[in-house]
Every structure is written in C-alpha cells, then in structure tokens.
Amino acid sequence: MRHARPAGDGVRRWESRTEWSLSVAAVVFLGAFAWPIIQVDLSQPARVVCRDLAVLTWALFIVDYAVRLCLARNWRYFWRHIPDLLAVALPVLRPLRLLRLVTLLRVLNLRATNSLRGRIAIYVGSCTVMVVFCAALAELDAERGHPGANIESFADALWWSCVTMSTVGYGDRYPVTAQGRFVGLGLMLAGIALLGIVTAALASWLIENVREVAEAEQQITRQDISDLHHELQQLRAELRLARGGSPGTDPGAVPVPLMTS
C-alpha cells in the first residue's frame, strides 16, 4: 500500500519549481510599476503595456498563493503566511504589491555564501536597497500632483526614503497625503527592523572576534605552561644525574639518618 506524502513536500516541490519564474515575474512587476512613475511623459500605449504586465504578473502571484494553499491542506500554513495573503489582497493597498519582491530576496539568500554571516549580509543589503527603492516609488506615486506636496521628483522621493529609513528625518521632504504617510510608517518600521538586524550582526561579529582572541591567548598560555613543565622535568632529571642518584630519585628528598642503639 502506498503511503501519502506529507503536504509540506508538495509545497516545497512547487516552490522549488516556480521560484525562478516568480522571481522574474517580480522583477517584471517592479519595472512595470516603476516606469510610469519615474517617466512622467510616458506615452499612453506604453502605460497600457505596463498596466497589463502588472496585472499579468499579479495574476501569477495569485495563482501561486492559491496552489500553495491547496497543496498545504491545513490552516497552519495559512496563519504562518499572512504576509503572502496581504501581498495578494492588494487593490486596497497598492504599495504592498511590492512585498512580492521578497521572492527574489529568497532566491538570493539561497544562492549566497554558506556562512551565516554571508547570508545575513546579502539578505540585509538586498532588502535595504529594495525597500528604499520601492518606498521611493510608492511615495512619489502617492504624493505627486497633490496640493502642498513637496515630493515631486524621483530624486526627492529617493532622498526622503533614505533619511526616513535611517530614522534621521531631516524634515525637508515629508508626505502630505494619507497614503504617503502610510508608506512612511511602513518604511520607518522596516528601517528600525533592518537597523536592529545590522546591530545584532555587528555585535555577534565583535563577540566572536573577542572570543577567538581570548581562546588564542588561552591556547598560548596553556602551551607556555606545558613547555615550562617539560623544561622543569628535564632540569629535575639532570639534577638527579648530577647528584649521582638514579633517574627515578627525587632530588628534593632529604635523606633520613638511621637510628643506632
């Protein structure tokens, strides 16, 4: 009788087969989302093509989520992947569509160096660049053309995104719309999270280096003690031979006189 395979195996096989294709779709979606925002004078046919590409890639993401949910066949997978659901249920919150680019980050992470620090460095670096770029796009799309807006170009949006994510906040550029403030809130939370990861990684690196130095010093000390002990044994042996004693005699022992009646 054939045993049924665990549901998680089906999800893993599906993800391994679709990982690269969904990563390409995420890049296409980013291009289709960014081009009309950056180039204000883009022609109408090109805007239609970008819109259709965005819809097509979004349909692929919906199919991917539905297939994974069906293959999992349990509610635990649903509750553990709420961010995927938020990224799919998007027409309400347009900037959250960019969360699907996490698929690309997962591929970069798997192809990174085998060391934990190398994976963290690539993941955090890629995530930082992507979040800054995507937040700038979303902020410019939300702010441009509104009364009182001071973020009217991609350069301004990129500057605002950098200072906001770094929690500096100069105040020379700021959102005036509700959607723009929502993007700013998400960017601040992402900046705090990434800063915490960088701080933890740096602290771990410093602790590991200090531990390695301490262990090296302890090893040197143990080796010096071992060498001194060996030299002391050699000196004792030479001293015994010089006194005419046998090699097994302790040179420090004092001879006890015999008692005569």
10-residue mean pLDDT profile of the chain (261 residues): values are: 56 78 80 86 90 86 84 78 68 49 55 59 75 87 89 92 85 88 87 81 77 79 84 84 63 48 43
**Residue 59 within any structural domain of the chain:** yes
**Residue 73 within any structural domain of the chain:** yes
**Residue 71 within any structural domain of the chain:** yes
**Residue 37 within any structural domain of the chain:** yes
Q: Are 158 and 132 in contact (CB under 8 A)?
A: yes
Query: What is the pLDDT at residue 119?
Result: 64
**Residue 66 within any structural domain of the chain:** yes
Cα diameter, the chain: 129
Is residue 137 packed enough to be buried (19+ CB in 10 Å), middle (13-18) or exposed (0-12)?
buried
**Residue 12 within any structural domain of the chain:** yes
Residues 6+ apart with CB under 8 A from 56: none
Query: What is the pLDDT at residue 256?
Result: 45
- In this prediction the pTM is 0.64
Residues 6+ apart with CB under 8 A from 12: none
DSSP string over 158-205 = HHHHHHHHTT---SSS---SHHHHHHHHHHHHHHHHHHHHHHHHHHHH
**Residue 68 within any structural domain of the chain:** yes
Query: What is the pLDDT at residue 160?
Result: 93
Which domain does 47 fall in, by range?
A: 1-93
**Residue 216 within any structural domain of the chain:** no
Q: Are 106 and 19 in contact (CB under 8 A)?
A: yes
Tokens at 202, concatenated: 């740096």
**5 by DSSP, 3-state: which?**
coil
Total tally of structural domains belonging to the chain: 1
Cα dihedral 64, 182, 130, 47 sign: positive
